[in-house]
Structure 1
Amino acid sequence: MHGGTPLTGEFGQRLRHLRDGAGLSQEALSHAAGVSVRALADMERGRTRGPQRRTVQALAEALGLDDGEAANLEKSAAEGRPRRRPATGTAVPVTLALPRDIQDFTARAPALAQLLDLARDADPGRPMVTVVTGQPGLGKTAFAVHAAHGLAPHFPDGQFAVDLRGMDPEPTDPRDALTRLLGAMGVADAAIPADTDDRAGLWRSMVADRRVLLLLDNAADESQVIPLLPGTGTSLTIVTSRHTLAGLESVHRSDLALLRREEAVELLTRILGPERVQAEAQAARDLAGLCGHLPLAVRIAGQRLLSRPHERLGKLVARLAAEGRRLDGLQAGSLQVRAAFALSYRQLPPDSGTFLRRASLAAGADFSPETGALLAGLSYDEAVTCAEELTDAGLLQSDADAERYRFHDLLRLYAAEQTEAEDAPAVRDAALDRTARWMLRRATAAALHFEVDSDRAAPHGDPDPDGAPTGREQARAWLEAERAQWLAALRRAHDTGWHRQVLDTAEAMHWFSDVNQHWEQWVEVFRRSADCARSLADGRAEAAHLNYLAWAYNLCVHDPQAALTTADTALVAARKCGDGLQEGWALGYGAGALHRLGRVEEAHSRLREAGRCLASQTSPQARLAELTILNSLGTLLRQTGRAAEALDIHRRSEQICRTGIPGRTHELMALYHAVTRQQIGNDLAALERWHEAEPPLRQALADFEAAQMPAWIEPARLDLGLVLTATGHPEARETLLAARDGLAALRSPRQVQAADALDRSTAAM
């Protein structure tokens, strides 16, 4: 049928003659046989001299060969296949046996189970690859070795392990790794092709029909791994790397996490024995925490204690608790956390190294690329690139939902060591100053989105207008996400003497603080701003910010005694500079503190005095303050059994709200009106006019929700729930339940009242 075809010679030459005789192009034969065009071209050029029997059979069927022709093609392929080395001779065999398993291996059961399922459900035509990633010290190699030993029975044709030395200055070249793999398969040195692609092709052809397990430990990148991966057959390759190796497609991934506390203690137990750990159970838990639940750190601590059989666990806990010495304490023999981190750090490009160590200066549990860019002196885009590279290297952890990054606490210590060693104090100070100034400007501009005291154009002064938050929702999200950063910036500004910047930022935060009354940090913010006003000898600003501070003591941390002391100080400052507005506010805040302290008559007296003081002022700000004082006076009267008088006062307040105050926005007056409606509803409830009380309370709640004021929403919800309970309304229990949970989230003392009302409601059912 195919006359002229040579009966002898290399497989590639024979295959090409057969294809030409059949009138098929490489593409047509590739499609018919299910073999890639590249693989077919490699065979015909002699780069692949001995393909496996299954491949030859597929080619013979596609070419339409009879039995004799097919047998001759298989014979020429068999002659090109590499021979195994004889058991005797002068050649030294290359062994790539799995490393010794760790007898005290702990945890990782779900990840191990997934690998076992992967091996059991293997598709014979698709080699399996799993990539084990994670930060330094998570035990990636230990996990992979333990898994390989457990999976070995499923791969009877061999298990091979290659250390790719990805963290070395010169990682293992794929060409050299293929030499070792081929040698382990019995290929003589002289039979190993010179070209890397040829070696890869030979390796793939040799494992195509075998069930082998390949462990590629400590990979540097995808280009190092890809030539070593089998192309067909039922094999499993386990790759470990500090990088994500995102370029490897269609692979299973095991991203190892930190141990849970009980797992870390179990690892200590396996190293030290149960008696020693049980004898100091709390110290063992503390030690696990100080090790950050990082397997390498826990193992180091355990092995250190194992070598000191009489040393108490508590002694090592005390040593590690001194944070500056924690990394020094986490070493035992050749195992050192610092060394593990240094391997990765030394491989980083200069910008990424700078980004990593300077990021340790960031405040809070996590940080944004903006913060990292400011500290490292990079552009935003450069910082994002560095952050992603460090995440891939396992040196940072990225947030699943937001573009934010965090350190493992031991890695933060290591990064802090590096910035101490490599960055001069002046450089660190400049980085912190640059970051603080930027953060204060952004925080000030963002907070001004919540200003409702007057008509205001869009806030200005942001250091990056193109990237600035637009609108309240974005501003709120930024201020909440970056709370630790801008608060740290405020501290630095205060301590450095940037008094005016502190005052500007704190003043801008005035209305935003009302939205977030549950933040205890407002005490620190306004304590620092009042101190800065004092340093600037600005009496009016000092009185105002002392009043803000008294508000924070009253409503944010619920410390009425501190609030009273602060309000009295604000009163002195206001009278000294002749500021009647701040005098009225100081009297009002002092009254609120006295009321909370149970000194009701004194509170009543101060509220009356505050009202007279403010009534003598003519400014719109004084009218608003007077409105607040009237509402507070009415509340005090109601709570002392004088609900009818309270209702009269709150009706007067409502009339002021309806009339409006010149120069004040509709939005601001709507908020005051909502507060007044809430008080009217409570007055009517106190008079047991339950059905009349419900509408104003519902309206107040709706207004607060529209204004997105959580600190005002939940108390109003509780007031409504109490009225609904009294009327037997079907929504009562649901409303009380929501109020209880909302007040608990705000850490409000009224959560107790909500819980009690809910209990009574349940008992009555």
Structure 2
Amino acid sequence: MSVEFRVLGPVEVLLDDEPVAVPAGRCRALLATLLLRPNQFVSVDELLERLWGNDAPTTDRAHKTLQMTVVRLRQSLGAANCVRTMSGGYLAEVGPDELDLLRFRELARAGDFAAAMKLWRGPALANVGSELLHRDEAAQLDDERLGVLERRIEADLDRGLAGELVGELSALTQQHPLRERFWAQRISAFYRSGRQSEALECYREVARLLVDELGVDPSPELRRLHSAMLSGEDIASTAQPRQTICQLPPDSGTFVGRERLFSQVEEKLASADGVPVIVLSGAPGVGKSGLTIRAAHRLRGRFLDGQLFARLNGASAAPRDPAEVLGELLVALGVPVTAMPDGLEARSAAFRTQLADRAMLVVLDDAAGPEQVRPLLPGTAGSAVLISSRKRLVQIEGAHSVRVPPLSVEDGTSLLSRIIGKSRASTDQTAVSAIVEACGGLPLALRVVGARLAARESLPLSSLARRLSDEHRRLDELAAGDLEVRATFGPSYEALSDDAATAFRRLGLLGATDVASWTVGVLAGGDGERLVERLVEANLLDEVGLDATGEPRYRLHDLLAVYAAELVRGEDQQLVTAALRDYIDLLLTVVGEATRVSFAADDLPPRPLTPSSALDRSEIERLTSSPEAWLLAEMVNIDRAVVHCLDRGWADPAENLSQRSFSYLDSFYPQERLEHQWTLVRDAAFANGDELIMWRTHFQLQVQILLRGVTDEVLAELARCAAGFEEVGAQAELAIVLGALAYYNTAHNGEPQLAIAERAVAAAKKSGEPLIQLSALRELGTMLANEGRYADCVQVMDDALAISRELDMPHEIAGTLARIGSTGLAHGDLERAGAASREALDLMIPIEDDRGTAYCAVLVSQVDLA
């Protein structure tokens, strides 16, 4: 059995291709009303209005009469009956191929406009005697028909059928004299078929008509067409889309950039299965709403049935009820208030029905979460959804996420220039750059400063730039009228769980720097991975990729970091200090693991540390499986940790962090930077009265100064360090500084300093540190050789070699063998020199020490050539 219902002309029902007689009057009007809302609930009240209008009987009688009408309709339809009873109303249940209206819309959506138009058999509802239906429903259907007809004609024009269309368009402009789209197509048909004079006369005709009838000039489209003809251009199609719903807010005239994001949106729309749902998310103030609205305007041509828009107030304390939003959208779609379904599920179903088989773009601005959004999604392909939200809404099945980053410096500068005027911006480009940088690429912040500058034309740009440079005042400066950056951050922070809020605040201690999840965990005293997920989902923490170790890194936006720092200053400072110290201790523990094999025999021994228990040992080993890569990834945070220590007078961890990290990272810093840091740590230790740390850092400072050359002054400072270490009984440090004194005095004065070297060996033995003894013995052996006491040198060097082999440190063994080789070569002991230098080279190659390998290779060559 096949059933077909028709409303695009006289209302008809066919059962197995045979007509079914539907009684005229209210039965036919009832069927038409239900078929115009296929598969959609229609309330009793709306049906009463449609069937009786202002002449409806009393309520009880009307309901009974309606029931009788339904019964009569069902009886007349027989096997073709499609009327289903619902609570409080009825619906017509029809398949997509059973109703000509559904087929018409599907063909139009697919672009087969000619086939769609063939379904029309005359005026809609031609045999239905209802003034209300003709006024409200048939008129809308006819407008929909004309819109598809316009698109069919446009397609024919593009196919080169201009000459064949002239007659049809002449008739259409007579039937619809005020529909400018048909006039534009008629003019285009004349022009494209080579009849330019008739095309110009046609334009003059419509221009006179519009002035006479409406008192208006031709539309911009008609005027552009006229101008193109006068200039002899090869005009392209000027077809304008049919009149559709467009609720989009105005597009911003100062919008800049974002082309890459627009491309992403378009790609995801094209590749999506089912209903495309694109979520544009990002930090507060990053311009999500503006981007979403701009993208929606750019996509209008793809969604010819219209664009719906709803603000969901997700960032407010009271996000909008989706049932309320659905009510507004249904009204916009033509559903009368009196026919509005009750309840969220019913309204959601009605909304999906309205959008079924239509090409509509639904724009949902500032969504609170997935629960608010899910009821607002269409159910069929053809429509699409653009959502802006502070959250990523990954819980929505099939949703595609597009993250909105801050503006680039170039785009930020362009935005500010548009707001305040290019001429004013050009007066102080340095200040403009500083303002843009202080705003961190947030469009909201740039609009705020733009509004302030626009309100005070005499305010120097440099003055505002200077005020914004102070982080403690920056958010105060980023406020103008009802625009305030701090206020837009608040709702996102307040929506966080307590532990995530703590994590956000504590990150304010570190500022805008890349961190790993373990950093978040130790600062907040919780599960770092889980806390990071919550902050990322809330778009209060950015994912910035993987570091050199493969660990994910995260970062607060610059202004969010300022906001977090404000919040953490309001927290209990004892708790904050304890959290920061836990972080410093853990960082020092991991630095210690990463650098435990980085110290040479002539380095100061690192200070002992108490391992932190904030991370499992296995996790620390995983993090530092590539020590150099981890140190580079955390280099900035180590620097900032030292600053935090100095701010709080924690000289011990400051010195320990500096020495351990600089054992590898010193080559990545300018010398002035290293000297400055050692000076700061030394001064902090002096202020605390910690003599050992003071002398250790003073010695490290002198080592840096020595890189610029040996002077009497720096040698005197080394002697002061030796005296200081001797006074505090630090034998290990004393041995190292005496070894340095012996070496640099010899280099500076040209005379071996055997006495100092022997003092170094004595102090090294007292220290009980084999590595330091090794360093002292090597230095003493070298000086003995330089004094011509080669036999004594051999004995001392053999003692050093024995210690190095006991330590089982290939680098130190190779270093000792190289000393043996060079001293042997200098004294003609080629057999000893050759054996030692070759073994040293063999050890250097596997440990990938390029400099040491090169030195040993040269030494081997020198011995061979001797």
TM-score normalised by structure 2 residue count = 0.62
What CA distance in whole angstroms lies between the structure 1 residues aligned with 2:763 and 2:84? 98
Please give the per-residue CA displacement for 1:444-488, whole angstroms capped at 9, x wherever unaligned: 5665576898xxxx9984324635523762666666655566666
Are residues 1:49 and 2:49 paired? no
Are residues 1:170 and 2:318 paired? yes
Query: Which of residues 257, 264, 269 in structure 2 aligns to 1:114?
Result: 264
AA aligned opposite 2:372? Q
Q: Does the C-alpha gap of structure 1 residues 284 and 575 become closer, same or farther in structure 2, counting only changes over 3 Å?
A: same
**Equivalent in the alignment of 1:246:** 394
Query: Which of residues 560, 574, 580 in structure 2 aligns to 1:432?
Result: 580
- Contact conserved, 1:207 with 1:230, CA < 8 A, in 2? yes
- Structure 2 counterparts to residues 565-714 of structure 1, below 5 A: 566-576=717-727, 582-590=733-741, 600-602=747-749, 604-605=750-751, 607-616=753-762, 619=765, 620=770, 623-629=773-779, 655-656=798-799, 658-660=801-803, 664-667=806-809, 670-676=810-816, 699=842, 701-705=844-848, 713=849
Q: Where does the alignment leave 5 or more consecutive residues of structure 1 unmatched?
A: 16-41, 62-74, 706-712, 727-765
Deviation for aligned residue 1:272: 2.1
**Equivalent in the alignment of 1:751:** none
Deviation for aligned residue 1:517: 4.0
**Equivalent in the alignment of 2:542:** 397
- Contact conserved, 1:272 with 1:306, CA < 8 A, in 2? yes
- Contact conserved, 1:671 with 1:704, CA < 8 A, in 2? yes
**Equivalent in the alignment of 1:86:** 136
**Equivalent in the alignment of 1:408:** 557
Greater CA drift, 322-331 or 515-524: 515-524
What CA distance in whole angstroms lies between the structure 2 residues aligned with 1:631 and 1:204? 90
What CA distance in whole angstroms lies between the structure 1 residues aligned with 2:858 and 2:283? 53
Greater Cα radius of gyration, structure 1 or 2: 2
Query: Which of residues 478, 491, 501 in structure 2 aligns to 1:330?
Result: 478
Please give the per-residue CA displacement for 1:344-399, whole angstroms capped at 9, x wherever unaligned: 222223332232222212367133444434443x4x32x54333222111111134
**SS of match in other structure, 2:545:** coil
What CA distance in whole angstroms lies between the structure 2 residues aligned with 1:684 and 1:551? 29
Query: Which of residues 263, 270, 273 in structure 1 aligns to 2:421?
Result: 273
Identity of aligned residues (%): 25
Please give the per-residue CA displacement for 1:691-728, whole angstroms capped at 9, x wherever unaligned: 999967854642543xxxxxxx35336658999999xx
Q: Does the C-alpha gap of structure 1 residues 303 and 83 become closer, same or farther in structure 2, counting only changes over 3 Å?
A: farther
- Contact conserved, 2:801 with 2:816, CA < 8 A, in 1? no
What CA distance in whole angstroms lies between the structure 2 residues aligned with 1:674 and 1:436? 36
Q: Does the C-alpha gap of structure 1 residues 296 and 551 become closer, same or farther in structure 2, counting only changes over 3 Å?
A: same
- Contact conserved, 1:133 with 1:254, CA < 8 A, in 2? yes
What CA distance in whole angstroms lies between the structure 2 residues aligned with 1:295 and 1:578? 61
Greater CA drift, 607-616 or 96-105: 607-616
Q: Does the C-alpha gap of structure 1 residues 424 and 281 become closer, same or farther in structure 2, counting only changes over 3 Å?
A: same
- Contact conserved, 2:592 with 2:660, CA < 8 A, in 1? no
What CA distance in whole angstroms lies between the structure 1 residues aligned with 2:381 and 2:90? 17
Deviation for aligned residue 1:103: 0.7
**Equivalent in the alignment of 1:346:** 494
What CA distance in whole angstroms lies between the structure 2 residues aligned with 1:365 and 1:634? 52
- Contact conserved, 1:614 with 1:625, CA < 8 A, in 2? no
Deviation for aligned residue 1:136: 0.8
What CA distance in whole angstroms lies between the structure 2 residues aligned with 1:477 and 1:43? 70
- Contact conserved, 2:818 with 2:837, CA < 8 A, in 1? no
**Equivalent in the alignment of 2:851:** 715
Deviation for aligned residue 1:194: 1.2
Query: Which of residues 281, 286, 301 in structure 2 aligns to 1:133?
Result: 281
Query: Which of residues 427, 435, 443 in structure 2 aligns to 1:287?
Result: 435
Query: Which of residues 425, 450, 455 in structure 2 aligns to 1:302?
Result: 450
Please give the per-residue CA displacement for 1:616-664, whole angstroms capped at 9, x wherever unaligned: 56724553122442587699x8xxxx9xx999999888755543459x4
RMSD over equivalenced CA pairs, Å? 5.1
Q: Does the C-alpha gap of structure 1 residues 127 and 501 become closer, same or farther in structure 2, counting only changes over 3 Å?
A: closer
**Equivalent in the alignment of 2:163:** none
- Contact conserved, 1:269 with 1:277, CA < 8 A, in 2? yes
What CA distance in whole angstroms lies between the structure 2 residues aligned with 1:203 and 1:334? 35
**Equivalent in the alignment of 1:161:** 309
What CA distance in whole angstroms lies between the structure 2 residues aligned with 1:365 and 1:524? 22
Query: Which of residues 607, 621, 628 in structure 2 aligns to 1:470?
Result: 621
Please give the per-residue CA displacement for 1:315-355, whole angstroms capped at 9, x wherever unaligned: 11111112211111112222111111112222223332232
What CA distance in whole angstroms lies between the structure 2 residues aligned with 1:109 and 1:646? 77
Q: Where does the alignment leave 5 or more consecutive residues of structure 2 unmatched?
A: 4-14, 23-29, 40-82, 104-124, 140-243, 602-607
**SS of match in other structure, 1:145:** helix
Please give the per-residue CA displacement for 1:385-428, whole angstroms capped at 9, x wherever unaligned: 333222111111134323443211111111222233x4244443
Greater CA drift, 253-262 or 441-450: 441-450
Deviation for aligned residue 1:297: 1.2
Q: Does the C-alpha gap of structure 1 residues 310 and 527 become closer, same or farther in structure 2, counting only changes over 3 Å?
A: closer
- Structure 2 counterparts to residues 413-492 of structure 1, below 5 A: 413-420=562-569, 422-437=570-585, 439-440=587-588, 448=596, 461-464=611-614, 466-467=616-617, 468-470=619-621, 473=625, 481=633
Are residues 1:213 and 2:353 paired? no
- Contact conserved, 2:365 with 2:388, CA < 8 A, in 1? yes
Q: Does the C-alpha gap of structure 1 residues 175 and 575 become closer, same or farther in structure 2, counting only changes over 3 Å?
A: closer
Query: Which of residues 318, 321, 340 in structure 1 aligns to 2:466?
Result: 318
What CA distance in whole angstroms lies between the structure 2 residues aligned with 1:115 and 1:186? 29
- Contact conserved, 2:652 with 2:693, CA < 8 A, in 1? no
Deviation for aligned residue 1:300: 1.6
AA aligned opposite 2:520? G
What CA distance in whole angstroms lies between the structure 2 residues aligned with 1:426 and 1:589? 43
TM-score normalised by structure 1 residue count = 0.69
**Equivalent in the alignment of 1:743:** none
Greater CA drift, 276-285 or 545-554: 545-554
- Contact conserved, 2:522 with 2:614, CA < 8 A, in 1? no
What CA distance in whole angstroms lies between the structure 2 residues aligned with 1:621 and 1:56? 92
Deviation for aligned residue 1:186: 0.2
- Contact conserved, 2:817 with 2:836, CA < 8 A, in 1? no
Count of matched residue pairs: 639
- Contact conserved, 1:363 with 1:485, CA < 8 A, in 2? no
Deviation for aligned residue 1:607: 4.9
**Equivalent in the alignment of 1:737:** none
AA aligned opposite 2:282? G
What CA distance in whole angstroms lies between the structure 1 residues aligned with 2:597 and 2:318? 53
- Contact conserved, 2:649 with 2:688, CA < 8 A, in 1? no
- Contact conserved, 2:413 with 2:436, CA < 8 A, in 1? yes
Q: Does the C-alpha gap of structure 1 residues 487 and 143 become closer, same or farther in structure 2, counting only changes over 3 Å?
A: closer
**Equivalent in the alignment of 2:45:** none
- Contact conserved, 1:650 with 1:679, CA < 8 A, in 2? no
**SS of match in other structure, 2:499:** helix
- Contact conserved, 2:738 with 2:759, CA < 8 A, in 1? no
Q: Does the C-alpha gap of structure 1 residues 627 and 309 become closer, same or farther in structure 2, counting only changes over 3 Å?
A: same
**SS of match in other structure, 2:620:** coil
What CA distance in whole angstroms lies between the structure 2 residues aligned with 1:181 and 1:725? 87
What CA distance in whole angstroms lies between the structure 2 residues aligned with 1:648 and 1:280? 75
